[in-house]
């Protein structure tokens, strides 16, 4: 599963548990935080537009990406969009 082939339709239609499994498996195999962060921003849009609850989606992974991994351009660029999730996850504790 070196590639994460998710279409836009799949990102906005798959169930939460399925997306969590796929994203975690992809990250554990490739450690590609940039792609994960971009997908998390898309899932925030889904959370706002749909009735399904995607709040706090993979909050532990988000915490890990921003605190434990090397800062990249994508992490700096999308930090603002994921800041609300980080504050609500009590990242400082």
Task: Give which of 51, 32, 52, 44 is closest to 84, Cα–Cα.
Answer: 44
d(CA 89, CA 62): 10
Output the tens digit of pLDDT for each of the chain's 93 residues: 567 888 989 999 999 999 999 999 999 999 998 899 889 888 888 888 888 888 888 888 888 888 888 888 888 887 877 776 544 444 444
Residue 55 contacts residue 65 (beta carbons within 8 Å): no
pLDDT computed for residue 77 by the predictor: 82
Which residue shows structure tokens 């930090």? 79
What's the pLDDT score for residue 59?
85
Q: Are 16 and 54 in contact (CB under 8 A)?
A: yes
Question: How many Cβ atoms are within 10 Å of 33's Cβ, its own excluded?
Answer: 22
């Amino acid at each position: 599963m070196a590639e994460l082939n998710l279409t836009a339709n799949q990102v906005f239609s798959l169930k939460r548990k399925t997306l969590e499994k796929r994203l975690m498996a992809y990250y554990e195999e490739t450690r590609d935080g940039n792609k994960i962060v971009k997908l998390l921003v898309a899932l925030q849009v889904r959370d706002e537009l749909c009735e399904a609850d995607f709040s706090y989606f993979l909050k532990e992974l988000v915490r890990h990406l921003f605190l434990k991994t090397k800062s990249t351009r994508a992490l700096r660029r999308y930090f603002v969009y994921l800041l609300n999730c980080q504050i609500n996850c009590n990242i400082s504790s």
